[in-house]
Amino acid sequence: MGNENSIIPVERIEGSILLIRGQKVMLDADLAELYGVKTKVLLQAVKRNIERFPADFMFQLTRDEFKILRSHFVTSSEWGGRRYQPYAFTEQGIAMLSSVLNSTRAIQVNIEIMRAFVKLRRILSSNAELAPKLEALEKKYDAKFRVVFDAIRQLMAPPKTKRHRIGF
């Protein structure tokens, strides 16, 4: 499925896809870098066409979300000078970006990003099929091992001894 002529390594795209508010998204700064434009330019194009970006296509991170995100990445200097929280774009919002940026590179980058989302969806789908099987195994073995753990706890408990009275 991969394209040898891709202008961006698929790993770079996959590494930029984050899970925020239960959605797979990419941040404005990462997208701007991929498109070869400044973040400010990307956001100006979006704001000129804001009707194309409803809340399920794009949303701005809260301060808390941004703080948590920055704490997870060492490269906070990339975001250190920002005066606002970044915008997160869903897959649909990213698809819409190619129409507002309107360059050959934007179209090529969008195709590669869409391929990365499809690949990620396939991986998550196969994991979703394995999850119930794993859960069933855990329940099965938890019940069997509970007996073993209970027996071990009984062996570890101090022995009950008769107390002899001291004194009269």
Confidence class for position 53, pLDDT limits 50, 70, 90: very high
According to the model, what pLDDT value does residue 110 have? Answer: 86
Q: What is the per-residue pLDDT for 77?
A: 47
The domain locations on the chain are 10-128
The pTM is what?
0.66
For residues 164 and 79, the model is more confident at: 164
Cα-based torsion angle of the residue sequence 38, 111, 121, 87 in order, rounded to the nearest 10 degrees: 20
pLDDT digits 0-9 by tens, 11-49 = 888 888 898 998 899 999 999 999 999 999 999 999 999
Q: Which pLDDT band, with edges at 50, 70 and 90, does 111 fall under?
A: confident
- 97's CB contacts (< 8 A; 6+ apart) are 31, 35, 42, 45, 46, 89, 106, 110
Please report, rounded to a whole number, the percentage of residues in the chain having pLDDT higher than 90: 29
In terms of Cα–Cα distance, which of 8, 4, 3, 1 is closest to 109? 8
User: Angle at CA 72, nearest 5°, toward 71 and 75?
Assistant: 80
pLDDT computed for residue 76 by the predictor: 44
- Tens of pLDDT, residue by residue over 125-137, are 777 776 677 667 6
Instruction: Give the CATH number of domain 10-128; options: 2.130.10, 1.20.120, 3.40.50, 3.10.260.
Output: 3.10.260
